[in-house]
Amino acid sequence: MAAPCRAQALLLLLLLLLGAARGLAPSHRLTVRDLARLRAALERPFGDVRAAYHAVVGLGSLGLRLEDEKAACNFIKSHVDSSSVDSLFYAAQSIRVLSGCEVTISNETRELLLAAVSEDSSITQIFHAVGALSGFGLPLASQEALSALTARLSKEESVLATIQALETASYLSQQADLSAIVEEIEDLVARLDDLGGVYLQFEEGIETTALFVAAAYKLSDHVGTEPAMKEDQIIQLMNAIFSKKNFETLSEAFSIACATGALSRNRYHLPVIIVPEGSAAVSHHQPVLKLQVTNVMSQPLTQASVKLDYAKSASTKATVLQQTPFVLSGDVFELNFMNVKPASGYYDFSISVDGDNRFIANKVELKVKVSTEVGITNVDLSTVDKDQSIAPKTTRVAYPAKAKGSFTADSHQNFALSFQLIDVNSGAELTPHQTFVRLHNQKTGQEVVFVAEPDSKNVYKFELDTSERKTEFDSASGTYTLYLIIGDATLENPILWNVADVVIKFPEEDAPSTVQSKNLFVPKPEIQHLFREPEKRPPTVVSNTFTALILSPLLLLLILWIKIGANISNFSFAPSTIVFHMGHAAMLGLMYVYWTQLNMFQTLKYLAILGGVTFLAGNRMLAHKAVKRIAAEQSSRLAKYRTLR
């Protein structure tokens, strides 16, 4: 027992290792169209310095520049607020990207920025102050700034604050001990949410996730330490960030642009995007498989070397080609797969990209279709005598011609069809997935479809015996057009061939009284649904008697009021009182109308209107009564007090 269990454990471990080696492939990327959309989002007109920062720095991350940098520089100079640390940060980082743009900084502004680098400031203020000092080229005590940042980070533990701490550290001197801040990258990775094993992102959203990726690589490049992220985690982050295709705000577009630039230009990880140019299909007319190998910005990696590790048939698992390089042609890599003369079908390609030790996601599995053209040969049409007393009459037909004359199938003789399918280009036999014989009644439109199946020699045969097939035809005699249908996903020329006319005769006693059309596309008979008939109502006498019993208490109330007398001295004719009683009466009337005419939804609509008005009027009426009651009580106390005096 122990040996089989040990063998199963080893097999499971091997499968896990193979799965880990294969890795996760990127499922989202920025296409050329996505990049154009991102650029358009960043080039929107900006109305303040913060928007100008997002536009200028975001485009710079993509390797692009504003068309009118001078106008942008003048805008920043005229709108920067020298008393705001945030405004100074946006201006300083923008002028680093704009060529020939300078902003004069006074001593008071410098002191303002230095004072903001303090434990009493928030991480955002420290980040902006350090970034502004760095952008303006002003001196900064990195160790003091690091101490303030570390102390403040222990009080602010939000994801965004930690990301800003990473970026702040990237502005400090490399001589400072930034290891504690670098370790925050690993802590942030642990706080990411895994969505189905495909995406990694913070619950704060895609924008925060993209800012983290940009800040992590910026700090890692600055200190010369590889970020604590696994390859699969980087790919999952890519999938989450690049799943965003529409950019609603400028800050969102800015964060995606920064992450894109970081993933395209860093010292440690360079994700590779491998996609076929067009469809992943080859044929004798188009024998070359073309691959686009790019970074996340769709920029071709022409310095890379692309190799086919192996190509296996998806059906037989036989390897037909291995260890073959792709050839660079312009910006795409090409491989003439048809040189090995593969049979039509699907093939599993394993492709690897080398040439840079930073490459990740550089091994992909690709399913490639090999298409071909089908040919029909040895097409024989026969009438076979059931008693075999007469030799079969066989007629050979060549595709795409139609057989001359007609063939008969009745109680004495059967109709038979046989043919072979070959690959036009290689001459090999083919067995497509779809091979049908369709018989169409020329008079009634009735259609009957049969499957033609090959024998051991791959010869397709179909035989029509009227005594066995009368159920499918409803014993409807007549002239039928015989069509041969050949189809498959790997065929470039699917076939619908009108082969011949076949006269089918069934015994007269089996013939239906009326021949109905079997056309599948005619309207079906309308279904008449019969609802349950309502139960009979009780006699009118019973209904009237029940109604009288219900109303009798009201009649008794009126009689007692007349005899004893009704006290209505407290009734006020104020508008609120009248509206309240009218609303109450209207709701009672609505109940009657609901019973006789309306449905529930109509009643609820009217009841909401009447109820609202009645509620407001009743509330005001009771308020007036309360005021009168309090005033009367106060008058009574005052009169009693005066009497005692």
CA dist 35 and 29 (Å) reads 10
- Of the candidate ranges 199-213, 385-399, 610-624, the one whose mean pLDDT is the lowest: 385-399
Position 17 confidence tier, pLDDT thresholds 50, 70, 90: very low
State pLDDT tens for residues 485-532: 999 999 999 999 999 999 988 887 555 555 555 556 778 788 877 777
pLDDT score recorded for residue 259: 93
Q: Residues 45-50: what's their mean pLDDT? A: 88
Return the closest-CA partner of residue 455 out of 418, 415, 427.
418
Rounded to the nearest integer, the mean pLDDT of the chain is 86
Residue whose pair of structure tokens reads 């009743």 in the numeric block: 618
State pLDDT tens for residues 425-453: 888 888 899 999 999 998 888 899 999 99
User: E strands, 431-530, where?
Assistant: 434-441, 447-451, 453-454, 460-464, 478-487, 495-504
Q: Across the strands, what pairs with 109?
A: none
Cβ distance 463 to 536 under 8 Å? no
pLDDT of 347 over the 60 cut: yes
pLDDT score recorded for residue 390: 75
Position 569 confidence tier, pLDDT thresholds 50, 70, 90: low
Cβ distance 483 to 494 under 8 Å? no
**Distance linking the first and last C-alpha atoms of the chain:** 112
CA dist 453 and 221 (Å) reads 65
Going by the DSSP 8-state scheme, the letter that residue 339 receives in this structure is G
Q: Residues 126-133: what's their mean pLDDT? A: 90
pLDDT score recorded for residue 339: 92
Q: Residues 294-323: what's their mean pLDDT? A: 92
Q: Residues 301-317: what's their mean pLDDT? A: 92
pLDDT score recorded for residue 516: 52
pLDDT score recorded for residue 642: 66
- Amino acid in position 304: A
CA dist 339 and 64 (Å) reads 43
CA dist 120 and 122 (Å) reads 7
State pLDDT tens for residues 155-209: 888 899 999 999 999 998 888 888 888 898 999 999 999 888 889 999 988 999 9
pTM of the model: 0.69
Sign of the dihedral through C-alpha 575, 581, 584, 590: negative
Phi, psi of 334, rounded to the nearest 5 degrees: -125, 150
pLDDT score recorded for residue 262: 93
Cβ distance 184 to 162 under 8 Å? yes
Long-range own/partner contacts, residues 529-537 (CB < 8 A, 24 or more apart): none
Going by the DSSP 8-state scheme, the letter that residue 609 receives in this structure is H
Cβ distance 307 to 314 under 8 Å? no
Q: What angle do CA 18, 20, 24 make, to 5 degrees?
A: 120
State pLDDT tens for residues 79-96: 888 888 999 999 989 988
Return the closest-CA partner of residue 107 out of 131, 143, 139.
139
Cβ distance 467 to 410 under 8 Å? no
State pLDDT tens for residues 140-152: 888 888 888 888 8
pLDDT score recorded for residue 485: 95
